[in-house]
Amino acid sequence: MTLDGIDCRIIALLQKEGRISNQQLADQVALSPSACLRRLRALEESGVILGYQAIVDPALLGQRFEAIVQVSLDQTQPGWHESFMAQLQVWPEVHEASIVTGASNYVLQVKTADLEAFSNFVVDKLNQTPGVRDICSHIVMRKVKSPLRPARA
C-alpha cells in the first residue's frame, strides 16, 4: 500500500489519540467522515494499522520496578531458540522481548513489583532456563522519553 500525506496524518493522529472519533479524525484531515473511514479501513486491512490498545500505568498495577535484561544463550544446545521463545510466552514479568545482534541474543523489558520480585524472576526463572549462558541487567531509574510522557529534565 502506498501512503499519501492524508494517510500519514491519519496515522499520526491515531498514534497520539487512538480513541479519536471518526468525525474528529475526518475534520482534522479535511475529509468527509465516509472517506476518512474508508481510508482507515484500508490502513487496517493492509496491516499498516495493526490494532488498538489501552496503555496502562504499570506502577498503578503494582509493577513499579523495571529492568532491561540482555540474555545470551548457549547456541550449541539443540532447540535453544525455540525453547527460549516458548518460555518467554509464559513469563508475565516479560513485557517485551527482542532478538538482537551483538553480544547478546535477546533484550527483555521486565516489570515487577520491586527489586526482590525481580531478583526472584532472574534467579528462579530466567537463570534456571536451559541454555541461558549470560544475563546482564540494567535497572531503569527513570523514563526520560516515552510515547505517553513528554521528556523531562
Candidates 3.40.50.11540, 3.30.70.920, 1.10.1740.10, 3.40.50.1370; CATH matching 58-139: 3.30.70.920
Cell 489501552, residue located = 54
Comparing C-alpha atoms, which of 7, 16, 63, 65 is closest to residue 35? Answer: 7
The pLDDT value given to residue 56 = 85
Distance CA 93, CA 108 (A): 10
The pLDDT value given to residue 95 = 95
Beta pairing partners, 146? 149
Residue ranges in the chain whose pLDDT is less than 70: 148-153
Pair 145, 151: CB distance under 8 Å: yes
The pLDDT value given to residue 140 = 96
pTM recorded for the entire structure: 0.79
Looking at the structure, give the CATH architecture of the domain made up of residues 5-46: Orthogonal Bundle (1.10)
The pLDDT value given to residue 149 = 58
Do 5-46 and 58-139 show the same overall fold? no
Pair 123, 112: CB distance under 8 Å: no
Residue ranges per structural domain of the chain: 5-46, 58-139
